[in-house]
Structure 1
Amino acid sequence: MSTSSYDAIIIGAGHNGLVTAAYLARAGYKVLVLERRELVGGCCVTEELWPGFKVSTAAYVNSLLRPEIIRDLELKKYGFEMLPRSPSSFTPFPDGRYLMMGPDKEMTHKEIAKFSTKDAEAYPKYEDMLTRVADFLEPMLTQTPPDPFGGLGSLWKLGKLGLGFRGLGRTTATEAVEILTGAARPILDRWFEAEQLKATIATDAVIGAYAPPSHPGTAYVLFHHVMGECNGVRGVWGYVRGGMGTVSNSIAAAAKSKGAEIRTNADVGQILVADGRVAGVALKDGTEFRAPRVASCADANVTFLKLMEAKDLPPDFVAQVKKIDYSSATVKINVALDRPPNWKALPSDGKIGPQHHGTMHICPDQDYIERAFDDAKYGRWARDPMLECTMATALDDTLAPPGKHILSMFVQYAPYHLKGTTWDAEKDKFADRCFDIMEEYAPGFKASVLHRLVIPPPDMERLWGITGGNIMQGSMSLSSMFSFRPVAGYANYRTPVTGLYLCGAAAHPGGGVMGACGLNAAREMLRDG
């Protein structure tokens, strides 16, 4: 058994863990990052699944990565480049019509007007409402949440938040509360009349969530998708040239340029604790690394219940961690194609068109989503699942051989636990059903498939170490956010063990490729010295 010493050790080379490592290394710390897999990135990776096809296996689009991280770490110097999507979405409907939306406001107005002139006039006002709320909420992403039950410092922070909230005025404050706590569907029903528009927007309210748009909490998930920016333009999502792994690789390169050491194929088996302080970590092969500071990019279940001994944690803390909801109902299907989908609603005859640039939705109305959730609620995969498809090769020719394409399918709903069967027995049947639906909207799709990889929730857990296959490292409901993430009393990235921190999506502000969790954790670690 060998031992080496560092100033800080990061468990997991997910993008958040890499951000923490990079900022600590910039401050002069001797940093070690330990990653279980053979590559860095966690759920933000690019992998050559089939010869010549470079696939963003998990995360697939970007907008939320914090601009200060891109600036501070000089990520563009290390290969980070965004490719903005315009149009941003395309939704074909069974009656042969379609809705295209994007940053081009005139185009979006005309498209919505095909279904409702009233909605076309209301949509800019809806976006303005979200922007007003974002102006209040977005700065909180990079703030350490105060403890409502803490000392004077926390009370001062809460007071400042209260004054900021009061400054919104009654109307905007009411809208902010509804966005934070409410369901997406009532909001959309109040703003719009065309089901085609409401269904298209509603897809953003449920991606990664074990809930339909009628459930409280989905409005915040919806809001999550209108924050962020692409090349300085707010609310625009894009692809990352070279796939999502470029995000992680550029952060890793920045960290290494400042002296951080990154080891892959290094599976941590235990967090070492002595006299209430963290002492380092031990790999499963017995190798030990010592450090007075350890930050875990893993979720709370893995960090506290798998990598630690119960005797090192307060029983009430462990009880809170065991209550965290990791329900998941999302399946990722990565597909290699020999031609782009030829949508009946807007044929392209094998060529790339604007309909392929953004997210392609199969979701005719909100009831369709509700029925899909009903299946999952009773332990079945949805017979008519909601499909969210993206084809980064429409804008990035580095990902596939000439003329070939990669389609990313993010599918709702399919629960972790299936009633009376297993995912090993069902995942190909589920994928076949998804492909049958695609065939209805884009004839010839099934014949265009060269390869596919189906990743249901249990496989997400196995591949990426995320409990329950939950891509957010835990529920994003109000009771699990801000001052209550991961649990009440420990939202400041610290844990009951001195020197042990959380730096991944288990901490505020939660899931999404934004890097804020890692940035905030690094700031608190540096503050502690």
Structure 2
Amino acid sequence: MNYDAVIVGAGHNGLVAACYLARAGQKVCVVEKNDWIGGAAVSRELYPGFTYSNCSYVASLFRPEIMRDLELPKFGLQILPYEGGAVFMENGDYLGMHRDHDANRREFARHSKRDAEAYDRYSRDVLRHCRFIRPMLLRTAPDPSSFRPRDLSELAWLGKQMFGLSEAAMYDMIRFWTMSISDFLDEYFEHPTVKAYQAVASIIGTALGPMSPGTAYVLLHHAMGDVDGNVGAWGFARGGMGSITKALKASLEAAGGEVRAGNGIEKILIKNGRAIGVAMENGDEVHGKRVVSNMDVKRTFLKHVDEGELPGDFVKRVKAFKIRGSSGKLNIALDKAPVFTALPPNSPHMKGDMHFTDSIEKMERAYDDWKAGHYSADPFQDMMIPTMIDPTMTPPGKHFMSCFVQYAPPKVEGQDWTDADRDGFAKACLDQIEKYAPGFKNSILHVEVRTPRELEKEVGLTEGNIFQGELTFDQLLFNRPVPGCAQYRSPIKDLWICGSSTHPGGGVMGAPGRNAASEILRDLRAPTKDMSEAYAVL
């Protein structure tokens, strides 16, 4: 069968792109190497009766426009906002966080009256940055070197947004995009634990420390999501993160699309400079009028396309694209809920994100270990217990704990990860939890440990990088993934990319998939210039 589009990878962006194309009347087939779908947004039962969100673990960035367009609630998707969180401090105290802004102010005042006063100004300024960037998420980044009317129009629109700011806000915006989160927070807060909590989102999934330039933007990338219209709110997908991709698959099939799981691709088939399908690992071929890759830009063009089919300058730029693994994950089945000595019984703070790193200096030391080529001896952990809100994931009275960990390098002191390295990494994480919740280890029924090795092998995330590429300023907008190829097209005609390597970047957002589908459908109406011609003049 010859399809209109063959989508490579049943991660959330691939499924989003497939859904939009199918709803536009295209005959679509999604091919997936694993026996299950979802990519990083997956729910799996790895211990009897327990459902793990064993890669991505929280929802907020997924665009509400996409949820409405694809009718995902109709297909069972429900997002449950979580309550707050806590940072456990070395002195035995804690900093608690709430969904309510005024409650947070009162908690800040318990530690620093000055920080409580600064919290309003901080929240206002971050929201202003969010309001500036959010409209760009579902727009294709313009090519500043192009004279096509559409690119000129988009550049004019972008300029209008910028010049709609006051002079002071414009200067702040430019500074914000390039400064470190440590420097940014120093302009508002004084208490080290208040700063540590606010810095969390700036290091999640990125191979940078809180003192590295550019981490302030990573904070914004995480802060611009929403749950039920509450900007910056986060939640759990009921039934685990796989509920998102399960709903996408149901939406796709309702529109006539097809998913083939359990067989990966060997290569993308190119004929006369045009993508015509994919060759599968089992020897089959799936043909289509176009191929849309949900893999990262390096995996797509360096592993599954013959280099001779690509312009040399393009290959050089792809090789230079930064995809650096920095994260690991522990998924833990618990016989009972842990008891944290700092928290009162039945604390609502256990219904959100909990951390043990109570200063930016500690975060930076954890990053120092990564730079030295080793996993962090005293890691930063973003720890959550989704079953405090969603009891459907475990048997009654039991709990699932998710621990997202920074930092874990793609190689340990220059060598591939070994099982001994993996076990040492897990021990560092579990020992840290035990310190603040004595007896915790005795309640463990099962632990799944995922280092960058497992994330790359099982999920297809190069070096274990969850964003398919660093979210630094040199790799955003028209530079993502590479200049001249930032509009989901490639130098090969009818070969497209729709994963998180493209604008606007990573996270369970769906925007890259939606935007890629929009560009494909636009080209079906009015074909654009072949990208191979554009690279010929570079």
- Identify the TM-score tier after normalising by the shorter chain: over 0.9
Specify which of 401, 410, 413 is matched with residue 419 of structure 1. Answer: 413
Q: Shift in Å at residue 423 of structure 1? A: 3.4
Once the two structures are superposed, the pairs formed by residues 27-46 of structure 1 within 5 Å of their partners are 27-46=24-43
Q: Does 1:251 align with 2:248?
A: yes
* Aligned match of 2:142: 146
Specify which of 304, 309, 315 is matched with residue 307 of structure 1. Answer: 304
Could you tell me how far apart the structure 2 residues matched to 1:376 and 1:64 are?
27
Q: What code does the residue aligned with 2:522 have?
A: R
- TM-score using structure 2 length: 0.95
Could you tell me how far apart the structure 1 residues matched to 2:245 and 2:405 are?
24
Contact 2:265/2:280 (<8 A) preserved: yes
Q: Shift in Å at residue 347 of structure 1? A: 4.1
Q: Does 1:497 align with 2:482?
A: no
1:23-61 deviation digits (Å, cap 9, x = unpaired) = 000000000000110111100000001000000010000
Contact 2:129/2:220 (<8 A) preserved: no
Once the two structures are superposed, the pairs formed by residues 7-406 of structure 1 within 5 Å of their partners are 7-87=4-84, 89-153=85-149, 154-348=151-345, 352-406=346-400
Higher mean C-alpha displacement, 165-174 vs 514-523: 165-174
Q: Shift in Å at residue 105 of structure 1? A: 1.6
SS at match of 1:332: strand
SS at match of 2:514: helix
Q: What code does the residue aligned with 2:450 have?
A: I
* Aligned match of 2:529: none
Q: What code does the residue aligned with 2:497 have?
A: L
Higher mean C-alpha displacement, 64-73 vs 228-237: 228-237
Q: What code does the residue aligned with 1:140 have?
A: M
Could you tell me how far apart the structure 1 residues matched to 2:146 and 2:153 are?
10
Query: Which stretches in structure 2 are left out of the alignment for 5+ residues?
Result: 525-538
Contact 1:66/1:514 (<8 A) preserved: yes
Higher mean C-alpha displacement, 173-182 vs 32-41: 173-182
1:111-155 deviation digits (Å, cap 9, x = unpaired) = 111111111111121111111111111111111011111124323
Could you tell me how far apart the structure 2 residues matched to 1:503 and 1:155 are?
23
1:183-240 deviation digits (Å, cap 9, x = unpaired) = 1100001110111100111111101011111101111111122111112222110001
Contact 1:22/1:255 (<8 A) preserved: yes
Q: What code does the residue aligned with 1:17 have?
A: G
SS at match of 1:114: helix
Structure 1 residues 423 and 110, CA gap change in structure 2 (3 angstroms): farther
SS at match of 2:223: coil
Structure 1 residues 10 and 115, CA gap change in structure 2 (3 angstroms): same
Pairwise CA RMSD of aligned residues?
A: 1.1
1:340-387 deviation digits (Å, cap 9, x = unpaired) = 221111143xxx531210000111111001111111101121111111
Q: What code does the residue aligned with 1:85 have?
A: Y
Could you tell me how far apart the structure 1 residues matched to 2:419 and 2:212 are?
30
* Aligned match of 2:451: 456
Could you tell me how far apart the structure 2 residues matched to 1:324 and 1:463 are?
22
Could you tell me how far apart the structure 2 residues matched to 1:133 and 1:373 are?
26
Q: Shift in Å at residue 163 of structure 1? A: 2.2
Q: Shift in Å at residue 425 of structure 1? A: 1.9
Could you tell me how far apart the structure 1 residues matched to 2:478 and 2:177 are?
13
Could you tell me how far apart the structure 2 residues matched to 1:134 and 1:453 are?
35
Q: Shift in Å at residue 302 of structure 1? A: 1.0
Could you tell me how far apart the structure 1 residues matched to 2:178 and 2:159 are?
17
Percentage identity across paired residues of the two chains: 44
1:256-305 deviation digits (Å, cap 9, x = unpaired) = 10000011012111111111111111101111111111100000111101
Q: Shift in Å at residue 102 of structure 1? A: 2.6
Q: What code does the residue aligned with 2:403 have?
A: M
Contact 1:133/1:175 (<8 A) preserved: no
Specify which of 457, 462, 478 is matched with residue 473 of structure 2. Answer: 478
* Aligned match of 2:482: 487
SS at match of 1:402: coil
Q: What code does the residue aligned with 1:82 have?
A: I
Paired positions, count: 522
Could you tell me how far apart the structure 1 residues matched to 2:408 and 2:508 are?
23
Higher mean C-alpha displacement, 177-186 vs 417-426: 417-426
Q: What code does the residue aligned with 2:143 have?
A: D
- TM-score using structure 1 length: 0.97
SS at match of 1:10: strand
Contact 2:2/2:289 (<8 A) preserved: no
Query: Which stretches in structure 1 are left out of the alignment for 5+ residues?
Result: none
Contact 1:178/1:219 (<8 A) preserved: no
Shift >4 Å, 4+ stretches: none
Contact 2:325/2:462 (<8 A) preserved: no
1:477-520 deviation digits (Å, cap 9, x = unpaired) = 11111100110001110000111110110111110001000000
Contact 1:199/1:363 (<8 A) preserved: yes
SS at match of 1:398: helix
SS at match of 1:411: strand
Q: Shift in Å at residue 445 of structure 1? A: 1.0
Q: Shift in Å at residue 182 of structure 1? A: 1.5
Contact 2:138/2:511 (<8 A) preserved: yes
Q: What code does the residue aligned with 1:409 have?
A: C
Structure 1 residues 193 and 504, CA gap change in structure 2 (3 angstroms): same
